[in-house]
Amino acid sequence: MAVNKSAEKYVVGNFKGGVGKSTTVQMLSFESAFARNLKTLVVDLDMQGNTSDVLNLTHMNYSEEDGGGEMLTFDKTINDVLMYDIPVEEAVYPIINNLDVLPANIAFEMFDGWVKKQFPESTDQFKYIEEKLSPLFNKYDRIYFDVPPSISVYTKAAMYMADWVIVILQTQVKSMRNGLQYMEYMEYFVNEFNTNLKVVGVIPFMLEAADAVDKEMYAQAQEIYEEHLLNTVVLKNARLKRYDGSGITLEKTKTGKTEYWDRRTHKIFKDIYDELEIHKTWFD
């Protein structure tokens, strides 16, 4: 059974790619650090390293006073920690004040085969990963795991370590099915490995507000997910899409106010953050 640590640990999931999992990790971790002043860590468990790249770009958007600066060079990654015994603290990089990342890159692809040779039993694989990362668990208030859209050692290890799961739901038939499959698999995983993982919320993502099919899918989601479905909906958002190439921004107008589209986009995820906090109280 996964050991409870001081940091609250979240995994963001769906078995379909491109639904907004990584975006949610990036935005919620940013709001946790910047808006809520909580010491926050992102652990990138996806070999594509997209979240690591976006957070690096984010680092470049902020002043030294805010913890930003020039582009970071990720000389060490999670792969070095897990395969080559590099102390995990040496592979953590500051993004902005209160927000750090343990990055990944394509070299992480080798880990799957390696860990299965070293530890044939799944539980031993999860415990090994947890042990390697555990020195960080008492250094942060929040830890967010970004995982690939598959049932893999990366995804399962994150489930094993996490306290909470956030399910991402796109209002499309395939995503609806994959969201349900994810929750069904999570229930199986909790029973199989005796963990305390709980669903803290389902986020409806990239809804086309005027599209009849999307409206129908959202109505179905309300029936299926009931109170788990958040009231805050992430509508299609050009600024959110831009963050993939620019990093997360908080641009200012000439009068010193936060630019409208940045302000609006951040408010969506602040609202999501607050809804998830309310949902957590249901388990007290």
Q: Name the token pair of 190.
A: 């909790």
Residues 279 and 201 sit within 8 Å (Cβ to Cβ): yes
Could you tell me which of 175, 150, 156, 149 has the C-alpha nearest to residue 234? 175
- Tokens representing 17 are 């790619």
Inter-axis angle of helices 173-193 and 212-225, to 10 degrees? 20
Which is higher by pLDDT, 17 or 124? 124
- What's the pLDDT tens digit per position in 145-200? 999 988 889 999 999 999 999 998 876 666 667 777 888 899 999 999 999 999 99
Residue 3 has pLDDT above 60, yes or no: no
Q: Residue 18: count other Cβ atoms within 10 Å of its Cβ.
A: 12
Q: Which residues contact 135 (CB under 8 A, 6 or more apart)?
A: 87, 88, 89
User: Contact 125/159 with Cβ under 8 angstroms?
Assistant: no
**30 or 18, which is more confident:** 30
Cβ-contact 142, 111 below 8 angstroms: no
Comparing C-alpha atoms, which of 203, 268, 152, 272 is closest to residue 12? 203
Q: Give the number of other Cβ atoms within 10 Å of residue 40's Cβ.
A: 25
- Give CA–CA dist 67/65, Å, rounded: 5
What are the boundaries of each domain within the chain? 8-281
How far is residue 270's CA from residue 272's CA, in Å, rounded to a whole number?
Answer: 5
Sequence letter at residue 166: I
- Assess contact for 240 and 203: CB atoms under 8 A: no
- Would you mind telling me the total number of residues written for the chain in this entry? 284
Q: What is the mean pLDDT of residues 217-223?
A: 81
Q: Is-contact 166 38, C-beta < 8 A?
A: no
Q: What is the DSSP letter of 227?
A: G
Exposed / middle / buried, residue 122 (Cβ in 10 Å: 0-12, 13-18, 19+): middle
What's the pLDDT at 4?
Answer: 47
Per the prediction, the chain carries an average pLDDT of 91
Question: What's the fold here for domain 8-281?
Answer: Rossmann fold (3.40.50)
**Is residue 9 over pLDDT 60?**
yes
Say if residues 154 and 148 touch (Cβ distance below 8 Å): yes
